[in-house]
């Protein structure tokens, strides 16, 4: 399990903007604001100061102008009195007018520079009135002086002049008062403004401080909350980690359990597979057994069917043999008759008569085999030489010209004790088989040899009974025919088995029965395509009478 | 001695009788047919024969019964029996009742003719029981061929 730990607040995340301390923003802002306010304040102060100074200068100028007017008045009085001060008086009045002009339009005074013209309309009106009064006063003064020069000073003019002067002074004082009053008002205004600014400044400072303090408080509380949250987070993280570890442990345990279960399962699967394999093997074995049994059953069935056939054959063979021998006898007689009377018949007729005779013989042989099979006559054994038996058998056989017969009988063989007729039947049958196996010709060997008493359990194809331990003479017939297929070897001595197109498959059975009846046995060796050897083992005479 | 030996051929198979008779006639014998045991006995009662050639198994009275009856009438006349499928017991019984020979069908004419010529030669000196063994006949037959 993957749990992301939350970074503590004092840890700056890499890549993000550095968290600046609170005062990083607030100090410059406060300084800037205070500076601005200070500048504004200073400007205000300067302004007020300038106004005050101007007012002071104007007041001073006005006072100077009063003084000049008064001086002029005095000088004029003096002039009137006869002193030569008229020019001085006029100069003083001009000075006063100049000062008023300066007050009105700005200019250099002996106290300082009045920078700008008087803008206040009331004051300007007063000042202009004052200037016109001064001009009037000057004109009066000039007139008085003329009078003086003319002779005597008219009392009206004097009065008028004094009144004007008084009025002038009054006006000047009024203006001065106004100005002074204005100045006082200005000062009050300035004080108020200052107070306002100061209080505003204090408010700002207090507000800023309070804001900062509250922010600090909030920051602290937030930090505390953050720390608390962080602590909680850490606790939760720890809990989560613990939980995760627990889960991991559980997962490991479960994994181990699953692995174990898996192994068990795998083992079971292997076992199952092995069992299946065994079952399969057993199944196969069973199938083989079933096949084997089925085959055996089939064989038994075949045997039964054959037995059935043989039983029917036994029942039928007697009557059928009898019934067939009669017509065959008639046919045989007829052929005999024809051969007898047709002595001068042409070759074809004689050949055909011969064909009929052969076919009758073949049919009779089949009947004879049938009858012999169903009823083997007990042998009438006599002492006879193998040579005699072979000779008689060969005489009975019709061997075609394309088959070369070789007889190899060694001298000095012991004599046999067998039924000669049955022996003839056996050998005739075997020789005939050999000849028939070579339709395109070949070689036929008939040989005899002495065979000593065989060790017990010798392989033998004929007879299931153990032959007595005695000496034999083996008469063998070998052909160079087509041979016998291996699968047919075991059926060779079974009744009704034949590979011939014509034949009921009893010849070799009869042979075997007859050989067994004569205490002998019959063996066969064959190589397909090369030939077959039938060996008949016959007992020798043992000196019995 | 007569010119021709007189043979009675008995079989219920008419064609068998005819063929045998024809062959014997060609061979210089006087052959008379009979088609049953009863008829054979009747004929044998009327006429004398040098030999009777008779089937063993016939409808009506069979060969052995007819043999007995013929032997009752003409005991010296040799009777040769023919059988399609003679058991050893039947052959023994037939010989016991005086059959000269028991042949297996189809009959071997060489053997039959040899027997007849033996009869002719031994007309005056027949064996006491009037029978020949098969071996004797076969021997003579073999000698003929050798």
Task: Write out chain A residues lying below 8 Å of B88, CB-based.
Answer: 377
Q: Does B19 touch chain A (CB under 8 A)?
A: yes
pLDDT for B35 beyond 90: yes
Residue contact B27–A340, C-beta within 8 A:
yes
Q: Span A491-512, mean pLDDT? A: 78
pLDDT at residue B101, rounded to an integer: 87
Higher pLDDT, A303 or A269: A269
Q: What is the mean pLDDT of chain A?
A: 79
The C-alpha torsion from A68 through A70 and A74 to A80, rounded to 10°, is 100
The helix (run of H) or strand (run of E) holding residue B37 is helix B37-46
CB B17 within 8 A of CB B8: no
Q: What percent of chain A has pLDDT over 70?
A: 89
Comparing B146 with A435, which gets the higher pLDDT? A435
Model confidence over A182-206: pLDDT tens digits? 777 777 777 777 777 777 777 777 7
Task: Check pLDDT > 90 for residue B63.
Answer: no
pLDDT digits (tens, 9 = 90+) for A285-336: 888 888 888 888 888 887 788 777 777 777 777 677 778 888 899 999 999 9
**Shortest CB distance from B26 goes to which of A318, A334, A340?**
A340
Long-range contacts of A432-435 (CB under 8 A, 24+ apart): A432/A397, A432/A507, A433/A479, A433/A507, A433/A508, A433/A534, A434/A477, A434/A478, A434/A479, A434/A481, A434/A532, A434/A534, A435/A397, A435/A399, A435/A400, A435/A403, A435/A479
User: A179 and A126 in contact (C-beta within 8 Å)?
Assistant: no
Average pLDDT, chain B: 82
Residue A451: helix, strand or coil by DSSP? strand
B62 and chain A: CB distance < 8 Å anywhere? no
Higher pLDDT, B111 or A201: B111
Residue A543 CB partners (closer than 8 Å, separation 6+): none
HSE at residue A124, side-chain half, CA atoms within 13 A, is 9
Q: What is the pLDDT of residue B52?
A: 94
Look at residue B128 in the predicted model and tell me its pLDDT.
44
Q: Which of B23, B84, B85 sits opposite A333 (nearest CB)?
A: B23
Q: Do B85 and A325 touch (CB under 8 A)?
A: yes
* Pairs across A and B, CB distance < 8 A: 54
Q: What span, in angstroms and rounded, lies between the C-alpha atoms of A61 and A54?
A: 10
Identify which has the larger pLDDT, A84 or A428.
Answer: A428
DSSP 8-state code for residue A381 = -
CB-CB neighbors (< 8 A) of A337 in chain B: 19, 22-23, 26
Distance from CA of A461 to the nearest CA of B (A): 31
pLDDT at B134 over 80: no
Do β-strands B6-10 and B51-55 pair in parallel, antiparallel, or remain unpaired?
parallel
Judged against a pLDDT cut of 60, whether residue B145 lies above it is answered with: no
Which residue, B89, B85, B118, B119, is CA-closest to B103?
Answer: B85
Mean pLDDT of A526-543: 86
Tokens representing residue B20 in the block:
């045998």
The pLDDT score that the predictor gives to residue A23 is: 66
**Token pair listed for A293:** 């049994």
Strand partners for A404: A443
Report how far residue B77's alpha carbon sits from residue B49's, in angstroms, rounded to the nearest whole number. 7
Separation between Cα atoms, residue A307 and residue A464, nearest integer Å? 18
| Chain A residues in contact with B15 (beta carbon < 8 A) | 330
The nearest alpha carbon in chain A to B107 belongs to: A329
CA dist., res. A304 & res. B23, Å (int): 48
Highest mean pLDDT among A349-363, A367-381, A460-474: A349-363
Higher pLDDT, A542 or B109: B109
Which of A318, A328, A340 is facing B23, going by the closest CB pair?
A: A340
Kindly tell me if the per-residue pLDDT of B38 is higher than 90: yes
Write down the pLDDT at residue B27: 92
Q: Is the pLDDT higher at B126 or at A350? A: A350
Chain A contact present for B105, CB below 8 A: yes
Predicted confidence at residue A471, as pLDDT, reads 82
**pLDDT, position B113:** 92
A14-28, A199-213, A248-262, B70-84 — which is least confidently predicted? Answer: A14-28
Structure tokens at A216: 């600090």
Supply the pLDDT for residue B32: 95
Query: B134 and chain A: CB distance < 8 Å anywhere?
Result: no
Q: What is the pLDDT of residue B34?
A: 95
Does the structure show a pLDDT above 60 at A467?
no
Query: Given the structure tokens 């007819």, which residue do they identify?
Result: B66
Q: Which residues on chain B are in Cβ contact (under 8 Å) with A334?
A: 19
Residue A275 scores a pLDDT above 60: yes
* pLDDT classification of B46: cutoffs 50, 70, 90: very high
Q: Give me the residue from B20, B84, B85 closest to A333, CB to CB.
A: B20
Query: Count of CB atoms within 10 A of residue A35's CB?
Result: 11
CA–centroid distance for B19 within its chain: 15
Chain B residue with minimum CA distance to A332: B106
Cross-chain residue pair B84–A326, CB shorter than 8 Å: yes
Mutation for A interface: B62, B81, B106, most A CBs within 10 A: B106
Smallest CA–CA distance from A365 into chain B, residue: B106
Judged against a pLDDT cut of 80, whether residue A145 lies above it is answered with no
For residues B100-119, average pLDDT: 89
Q: Does the CB of B113 have a partner CB in chain A at under 8 Å?
A: no
At B37 the pLDDT is 92
Cα distances from A196 to residues A45, A162, A528, in angstroms, run 13, 49, 145
Q: What interface predicted TM-score (ipTM) does this complex get?
A: 0.80
In angstroms, what separates the C-alpha of A482 from chain B's closest C-alpha? 34
Decide if B61 contacts B94 (C-beta within 8 A): no
Nearest CA in chain A to B84: A322
| B19 contacts A325? CB cut-off 8 A | no
Cα A412 to Cα A468: distance, rounded to the nearest angstrom: 23
With cut-offs at 50, 70 and 90, classify the pLDDT of residue A131: confident
Number of neighbouring beta carbons within 10 Å of residue B58: 20
Q: Which two tokens stand for residue B113?
A: 């003719």
Residue from the list A333, A371, A375 with its beta carbon closest to the beta carbon of B19: A333
Please answer yes or no on whether B15 and A330 come within 8 Å at the CB atom.
yes
The 3-state DSSP class for residue B98 equals coil
A221 has pLDDT over 50 = yes
Distance of CA A259 to the CA centre of its chain: 22
What DSSP letter does each residue of A182-241 carry, written as one string? HHHHHHHHHHHHHHHHHHHHHHHHHHHHHHHHHHHHHHHHHHHHHHHHHHHHHHHHHHHH
Chain A residues in contact with B22 (beta carbon < 8 A): 337
Beta strand segments in A340-387, E: 382-384
B81 has a pLDDT exceeding 50: yes
Distance from CA of A388 to the nearest CA of B (A): 14
DSSP single-letter state for residue A540: B
Range name among A182-196, A529-543, B98-112 with the lowest pLDDT average = A182-196
| Most confident stretch, A16-30, A70-84, A230-244, B22-36 | B22-36
Distance CA A452, CA A325 (A): 43
Q: What is the pLDDT of residues A41-96, one digit of tens each?
A: 788 777 777 777 777 777 788 788 878 878 887 887 777 777 777 788 888 888 88
Average pLDDT rounded to a whole number, residues A421-434: 87
**A contact set with B (CB within 8 A):** 318, 321-323, 325-326, 328-334, 336-337, 340-341, 360, 364, 371, 375, 377
**Joined tokens for residue A87:** 């020019």
- Of A235 and A460, the structure prediction assigns the larger pLDDT to A235
Residue in B26, B85, B105 nearest the CB of A337: B26
- Token pair for B77: 């006349």
Higher pLDDT: A260 or A89? It is: A260
């Amino acid at each position: 399990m993957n749990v992301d730990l939350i970074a503590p607040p004092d840890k700056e995340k890499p890549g993000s903007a550095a968290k600046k301390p609170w005062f990083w923003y607030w100090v410059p802002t406060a300084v800037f604001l205070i500076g601005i306010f200070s500048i504004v304040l200073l400007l205000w102060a300067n302004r007020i100061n300038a106004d005050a100074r101007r007012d002071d200068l104007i007041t001073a100028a006005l006072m100077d102008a009063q003084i000049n007017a008064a001086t002029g008045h005095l000088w004029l009085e003096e002039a009137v009195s006869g002193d030569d001060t008229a020019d001085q008086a006029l100069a003083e009045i001009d000075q006063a007018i100049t000062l008023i002009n300066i007050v009105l339009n700005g200019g250099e005074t002996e106290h300082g520079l009045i920078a700008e013209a008087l803008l206040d309309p009331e004051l300007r009106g007063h000042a202009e009135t004052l200037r016109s009064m001064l001009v009037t006063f000057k004109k009066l003064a000039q007139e008085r002086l003329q009078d003086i020069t003319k002779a005597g000073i008219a009392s009206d003019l004097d009065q008028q002049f004094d009144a004007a002067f008084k009025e002038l002074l009054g006006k000047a004082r009024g203006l001065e008062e106004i100005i002074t009053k204005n100045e006082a008002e200005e000062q009050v205004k300035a004080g108020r403004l200052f107070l306002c600014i100061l209080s505003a400044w204090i408010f700002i400072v207090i507000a800023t401080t309070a804001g900062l303090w509250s922010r600090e408080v909030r920051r602290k509380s937030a930090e505390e909350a953050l720390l608390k949250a962080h602590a909680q987070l850490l606790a939760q993280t720890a809990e989560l980690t613990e939980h995760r570890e627990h889960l991991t442990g559980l997962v490991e345990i479960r994994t181990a359990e699953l692995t174990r279960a898996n192994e068990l399962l795998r083992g079971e699967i292997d076992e199952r597979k092995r069992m299946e394999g065994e079952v399969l093997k057993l199944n196969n074995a069973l199938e083989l057994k079933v096949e084997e049994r089925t085959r055996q059953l089939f064989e038994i069935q075949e045997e039964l069917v054959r037995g059935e056939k043989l039983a029917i054959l036994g029942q039928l063979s007697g009557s059928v043999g009898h019934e067939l021998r009669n017509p065959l006898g008639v046919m045989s007689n007829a052929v005999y008759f024809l051969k007898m009377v047709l002595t001068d018949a042409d070759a074809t007729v004689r050949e055909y008569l011969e064909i009929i005779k052969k076919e009758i013989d073949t049919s009779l042989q089949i009947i004879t085999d049938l009858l012999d099979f169903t009823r083997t006559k007990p042998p009438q054994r006599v002492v006879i030489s193998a040579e005699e038996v072979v000779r008689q058998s060969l005489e009975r056989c019709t061997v075609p010209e394309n088959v070369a017969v070789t007889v190899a009988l060694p001298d000095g063989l012991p004599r046999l004790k067998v039924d000669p007729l049955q022996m003839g039947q056996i050998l005739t049958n075997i020789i005939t088989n050999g000849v028939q196996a070579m339709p395109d010709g070949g070689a036929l060997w008939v040989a005899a040899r002495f065979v000593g008493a065989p060790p017990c359990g010798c392989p033998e194809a004929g007879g299931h009974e153990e032959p007595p331990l005695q000496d034999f003479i083996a008469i063998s017939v070998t052909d160079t025919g087509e041979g016998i297929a291996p699968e047919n070897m075991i059926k060779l001595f079974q009744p009704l088995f034949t590979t011939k197109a014509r034949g009921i498959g009893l010849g070799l059975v009869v042979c075997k029965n007859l050989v067994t009846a004569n205490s002998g046995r019959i063996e066969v060796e064959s190589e397909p395509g090369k030939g077959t050897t039938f060996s008949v083992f016959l007992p020798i005479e043992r000196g019995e009478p | 001695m007569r010119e021709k030996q007189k043979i009675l051929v008995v079989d219920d198979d008419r064609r068998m009788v005819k063929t045998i008779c024809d062959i014997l006639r060609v061979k210089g014998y006087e052959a008379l047919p009979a088609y049953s045991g009863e008829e054979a006995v009747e004929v044998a009662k009327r006429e004398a024969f040098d030999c009777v050639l008779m089937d063993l198994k016939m409808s009506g009275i069979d060969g052995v019964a007819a043999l007995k009856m013929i032997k009752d009438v003409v005991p010296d006349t040799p009777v040769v029996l023919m059988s399609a499928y003679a058991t050893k017991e039947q052959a023994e019984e037939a010989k016991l009742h005086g059959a000269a020979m028991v042949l297996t069908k189809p009959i071997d004419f060489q053997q039959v003719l040899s027997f007849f010529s033996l009869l002719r030669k031994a007309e005056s000196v027949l064996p006491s029981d009037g029978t020949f063994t098969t071996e004797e006949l076969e021997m003579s037959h073999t000698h003929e061929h050798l």
